[in-house]
Amino acid sequence: MPGPSPRAIVVADVHRAKLEAVVRAHCAAQVAVRRARIILLAADGVSNAEVARRVGVTADTVREWRGRWADDPRPEALRDRPRSGRPPSVAAATRATLISLACERPEDGDRRPFRDIWTQASLQTALEDATGVCLSTSEIGRILRARELRPHRVRMWLQSQDPEFRRKVDIICGYYTAPPPNTTVLCMDEKRLFAHRRRPGVRPCQPNRPCRKEFVYSRHGSSVLMATFDVATGTVFGHCNPTRTGPDLVEFMEKVAARYPGPVVVIWDNLNVHYDGKDGRWTEFNKRHNGRFTFVYTPKHASWVNQVEIWFSILERRVLRNGTFGSVDAVVDRTLGYIDHWNEQEVHPFNWTFRGTRDFRVRSDLGIHARPAHRLLAS
């Protein structure tokens, strides 16, 4: 008894051109090529059995795609339809409970086993207690990674409690983006330099082994680097001194005044020597220089607003952290030498950003002169 007649299909010229292009393409997926050939041969009147023989598939497959095209005569109909996929092995409620636990602090921080952060094993136990479901630690890890949760990792941070934090940051950002005309904006701070000597020094890396340095070191004294960072140019000016007293800082700032003859804005933190003190050091300093210095203080516990801290980080990573110094003179010479190298070869301003001022605009009510900002502080 003969079977049902194959469904007649029609391929428009524009669709035929697309299907023939798929067949000719060297980079097309073979499954797409087979489906395109089935439709082209069927449209030419070739029987299902003959199409199956030429393409290398079963007659049932030919009937399936012939019927698919008859219902929707477009090349897009030859794509795979959405599938439900394998049912999830972990119920949605269990996943939600696990994620909720991972986003909370453990409750046994003050009793046995005294855990303040989660491990996969402790999450496994807590989840079983909460839901009665015991997941493997590897499954817990997969669920957490899919949500980009890392409850076992901790990063330190310091939140400024300064009640005028926003106002002070807005003022500093204003000087960074739109300083008054003909005014130099300097970020100033001090950094302690330690003469530490390791024997042996840093050993070079080897295959499958990073560079290594001796944990034990001997101390050979310390010095203090006083430095300014020019926000507009990136130029660094520095001087090293054995101590960091008020007179020491005034002496350094006299050098800064000689280097920058025009109006100067100095941004620094709340160290005691940065204030007037009993002798009114900065009031008297400004009188000697015709009041051309403006001192701006960062919010308390927010020295990161000061751009010179970025440069100190570069100095620490490139020169100090892995260096070995047998004397104070050695670390001072290396530091001052790197300042010269920076100013000659690497000098550049920082593209400083602060997410907290996403909608920052120069504010005239803060006494900041507005002009077009070349580097808006928006991430």
β-sheet with 218-230: strand ranges across: 236-241, 218-230, 184-197, 264-268, 293-297
> Which pLDDT belongs to residue 192?
96
Q: What are the extents of the domains in the chain?
A: 13-78, 92-146, 165-366
Cβ neighbours of residue 192 under 8 Å, at least 6 residues apart? 222, 223, 224, 225
Distances (CA, A) of 227 to 24, 239, 252, 339: 68, 6, 9, 10
Given its phi and psi angles, is residue 208 left (phi above 0), alpha (psi -120 to 50 degrees) or beta?
Answer: left
In this model, does residue 366 exceed pLDDT 60? no
Mean model confidence pLDDT for the chain: 87
Neighbours of 205 (CB within 10 A): 10
Cβ neighbours of residue 71 under 8 Å, at least 6 residues apart? 77
Neighbours of 307 (CB within 10 A): 22
Of 360 and 43, the one with more pLDDT: 43
In this model, does residue 155 exceed pLDDT 50? yes
Of 89 and 332, the one with more pLDDT: 332
Of 201 and 121, the one with more pLDDT: 121
Name the least confident of 67-81, 228-242, 337-351. 67-81
> Which pLDDT belongs to residue 332?
96
pLDDT band at 217 (very low <50, low <70, confident <90, very high): confident
In this model, does residue 108 exceed pLDDT 90? no
> Which pLDDT belongs to residue 368?
37
Token pair recorded at residue 100 = 């909720």
> Which pLDDT belongs to residue 116?
85
> Which pLDDT belongs to residue 109?
60
Of all residues in the chain, the percent with pLDDT exceeding 70 is 91
> Which pLDDT belongs to residue 313?
95
> Which pLDDT belongs to residue 322?
86
> Which pLDDT belongs to residue 176?
94
> Which pLDDT belongs to residue 171?
93
Nearest to 303 by CA among 141, 162, 206: 162
Q: What is the C-alpha to C-alpha distance for residues 189 and 306, in angstroms, rounded to an integer? A: 8
What digits encode the pLDDT tens for the residues 316-358? 999 998 888 989 999 999 999 999 999 999 999 998 877 764 4
> Which pLDDT belongs to residue 4?
67
What's the mean pLDDT in 227-244?
96
Which CATH number is 165-366's, of 3.90.1580.10, 3.30.420.10, 3.40.50.300, 3.30.465.10? Answer: 3.30.420.10
What's the mean pLDDT in 272-279?
90
> Which pLDDT belongs to residue 210?
85
pLDDT band at 256 (very low <50, low <70, confident <90, very high): very high
Name the least confident of 41-50, 289-298, 331-340, 369-378. 369-378
pLDDT band at 111 (very low <50, low <70, confident <90, very high): low
What's the mean pLDDT in 228-235?
97
> Which pLDDT belongs to residue 356?
66
In this model, does residue 129 exceed pLDDT 70? yes
What's the mean pLDDT in 238-266?
96
In this model, does residue 375 exceed pLDDT 50? no
Name the least confident of 106-115, 222-231, 241-250. 106-115
In this model, does residue 268 exceed pLDDT 70? yes
Q: Which amino acid is at 246?
A: G
